[in-house]
Amino acid sequence: MMQGTSRRQLLIHTGGGLAGIALASLLQAEGLLAAEGSPRRPAIDPGRPFAARPKHFPARAKNVLMIFCSGACSQIDTFDYKPELIKRHGQPLPGAEGLITFQGGQGNLTRSPWQFRPRGECGKMISDLVPRLGELADELCFIHSLTGKTNTHGPGENLMSTGFTLDGFPSMGAWLTWALGTENQELPAYVAIPDPRGTPQSSVNNWGPGFLPAAFQGTDFNASKPLRNLQPPEGLDPATDRRTRAFLDGLNRRHLERFPGDSELAARISSYRLAARMQLSVPEVSDLATETAATLRMYGADDAQNPLKAAYARNCLLARRLVERGVRFVQVFNGAYQTGGEGVSNWDGHKHLEEQYSKHGPVLDQPTAALLRDLKQRGLLSETLVVWCTEFGRMPTFQAGASGRDHNPAGFTAWLAGAGVKAPFTYGATDEFGYQAVEGVATVHDFHATILHLLGLDHERLTYYHNGLERRLTDVHGHVIRAVLS
């Protein structure tokens, strides 16, 4: 017995300690006790894997709409204005004599072929390549100091979409829907909308589930190519189809009752039920004929002179309709990978940048600007986080012997709009030529941590145990860029 402590006092202290242990155990079991930084995994009902789930803390955004410019869109020619680059056009990049980058040696500094002008009330300098987006400068929050880990497209897309350069890791949309579920049980929680011309270079890795349960992968379809195998066979009338599905659902319920607690079986049955519901919900959400002529015109979806722009515009309209119906994560791709067609289908402007970007700029500009305007006028922008990004940036020089810019992960631009971010606002900066991030240097992990934070998730606590490691979207890195939060 401790000196100065009576038997009665010892029993009181011991009893109180046991009560505290019991209380802590109960709180832990209910998921209400977690030290800051400890893992907090969502409790998922296998029979309802997409049910909406609680966040770590109050969120500013309900859902995410990501616009991914595949091929590495040049910051120098769009949003990162550099008067010194204009002034020293044709001169060598200081301190970079003999510089070898992804495709070889570099030539001299080269100004953008497009003039930059002050836009909006804020006066942000934005290129004539994207004038419609420039009109919305007051709605945008720019991050001009992103840095990557690779100068290769596939790994770069992986990094931006999954946080890792290697294949096999969950995409951001998979992490979010695993953590939060969705508010619409009739549609997929996560939809990826590929470019009308094809998939990005890293293809399905951009919306894959990695080691997370397969249910949380993105469902990929676009306005031109609806979901495969969605329509019932010819000759099957709707009444028979409904009765058949009801009969199968009854059999599945009875089978599940025989194996209570079989989470994999419950998850499969849930997937079948969602597939059945999607036979009705996906055709409805994909039917753009219900949109007004004015809306189609605003997006450019009726542009017969530019069918690529019209097709991308229809994808943007589809994205708005999905967000409107509560889909948690929508990922729209602008640009596709085609073997043998240098720069024809994406932003990979190595040899003929002015020619290529003159085609890509109008495809991106009007539909994306219309999407932002439409979200705002419908009251959706206040609860939706819009993300514009690309896998890395471009050099301020032209490649030796070419008229285009090489890959550059040392400093590039992304922007955010909508729920929870300051606008108009600019964070970070590259050097005077747009070559390297020098102020507020941010990583892709920081970018992801910020997006998760806006959705009410602590990136350090959102973990999944895999192969002996607590895996995160942000690996073991990342800090929220708090300066951009409103």
Q: Using one digit for the tens of pLDDT, what is the confidence trace for 96-131?
A: 877 889 888 999 999 999 999 999 999 999 999 999
Higher-pLDDT residue of 230 and 435 is 435
Domain ranges of the chain: 63-226+291-484
Homologous superfamily (CATH) of 63-226+291-484 is Alkaline Phosphatase, subunit A (3.40.720.10)
Q: From 395, 387, 448, 441, select the one nearest 414 (Cα to Cα).
A: 387
Q: What is the pLDDT of residues 25-72, one digit of tens each?
A: 454 444 444 445 567 789 888 778 899 999 999 999 999 999 999 999
* Dihedral sign from CA coordinates of 10, 12, 15, 20: negative
- The answer for residues whose C-beta is within 8 angstroms of residue 178's C-beta and 6 or more apart is 42, 44, 170, 212, 213, 216, 464
- DSSP 8-state class, residue 432: T
Task: Give the integer Cα–Cα distance in Å for 138 and 25.
Answer: 50
Q: What is the pLDDT of residues 263-308, one digit of tens each?
A: 566 656 666 666 666 666 777 888 999 999 999 999 999 999 999 9
Q: What is the pLDDT of residues 342-383, one digit of tens each?
A: 445 799 999 899 999 999 999 999 999 999 999 999 999 999
CB count within 10 Å of CB 15 equals 10
Looking at residue 343, its pLDDT comes to: 44
Reported as a pLDDT band with limits 50, 70 and 90, residue 20 is: low
Task: Give the integer Cα–Cα distance in Å for 191 and 331.
Answer: 6
For the chain, the straight-line distance linking the first and the last C-alpha, in angstroms and rounded, comes to 57
Higher-pLDDT residue of 183 and 63 is 63
Quickly tell me which residue has 């992986």 as its tokens. 158
Predicted TM-score (pTM) of this structure:
0.87
Looking at residue 252, its pLDDT comes to: 73
Task: Give the integer Cα–Cα distance in Å for 265 and 252.
Answer: 9
Phi, psi of 198 (to 5 degrees): 145, -170
Higher-pLDDT residue of 141 and 250 is 141
Quickly tell me which residue has 């940036």 as its tokens. 393
Q: What is the pLDDT of residues 192-226, one digit of tens each?
A: 999 998 899 999 999 999 999 988 999 999 998 77
> Average pLDDT, stretch 181-191?
92
Task: Give the integer Cα–Cα distance in Å for 325 and 184.
Answer: 7
- How far from the centroid of its chain's Cα atoms is residue 84's Cα? 33
